[in-house]
Amino acid sequence: MNSSKEHILEVSFRLFLRKTFKEVTMQEIVKETGLSKGAFYHYFDSKEKLFLEVVKHFSSETDVDYSVLPREPLAQFYHAYVEYLRNKTIYSFKRDQGDRDSGFSLNYFVLIFDAMKLFPDFREKMISSSQEEVGIWTDVVSRARTAGEIASLMTDEQIANLFMYTSDGVVMQSTIQGNAEEAPDRLLSVWDGLYKGLKKD
């Protein structure tokens, strides 16, 4: 990506994380980038287009590439998943910027929800991504059951949802408490407990 465009996206991202979409002005963004108006508007001629590009760019940075994770055994899969998250989530960007304010992370969720309200296509992408994730987790759980790794009366999809929903909950609660950087360790602890409950004796 062009370095000037990348710079605009990073500066805008930080601003949208500190404020809401409505609160940030184009004038403020241009000023923060240090670019001339002409140079800035060469890339983005409206706040809506810029916001969508920011959300697409940085939400893709948090996507998990499941192809690099082992599908079995289940324990190895979720441990690799957590390790992947340590380096790929919003928290790595937060560390790079030296910004430890909990509001910074909380506003990431606001940013995503704003984008889902403003852009129906983006909302559909998020729904599709979630459904794909359920499918992958369900496949991993199914493999674990077939291999005799786990035993439970719950269906494979119910177990998959448990892993996914506890992930959402742990990340959200850690962020609310101002300890977002602790989310991976907390998540691993919760998943280890869940896994222990699913294992065969």
Give pLDDT tens digits for 74-133: 999 999 999 988 876 555 555 444 444 444 467 888 888 899 999 999 999 999 999 999
- The answer to whether the CB of 90 falls within 8 A of the CB of 108 is yes
**In this structure, what token pair is assigned to residue 32?**
């923060």
The full DSSP string for 151-193 is --SS-HHHHHHHHHHHHHHHHHHHHHTT-GGGHHHHHHHHHHH
- Provide the residue type at 199 as one letter: K
Q: How confident is the model at residue 200 (pLDDT cuts 50, 70, 90)?
A: low
Query: Is 3-57 a domain of CATH 1.10.10.60?
Result: yes
**Per residue in 138-168, pLDDT tens?**
999 999 999 999 999 999 999 999 999 999 9
Stretch 30-35: mean pLDDT: 92
Residue with tokens 């280890």: 192
pLDDT at 8: 94
Q: How far apart are CA 100 and CA 90, in angstroms?
A: 12
pLDDT at 98: 45
Domain ranges of the chain: 3-57, 62-198
Q: How far apart are CA 88 and CA 76, in angstroms?
A: 18
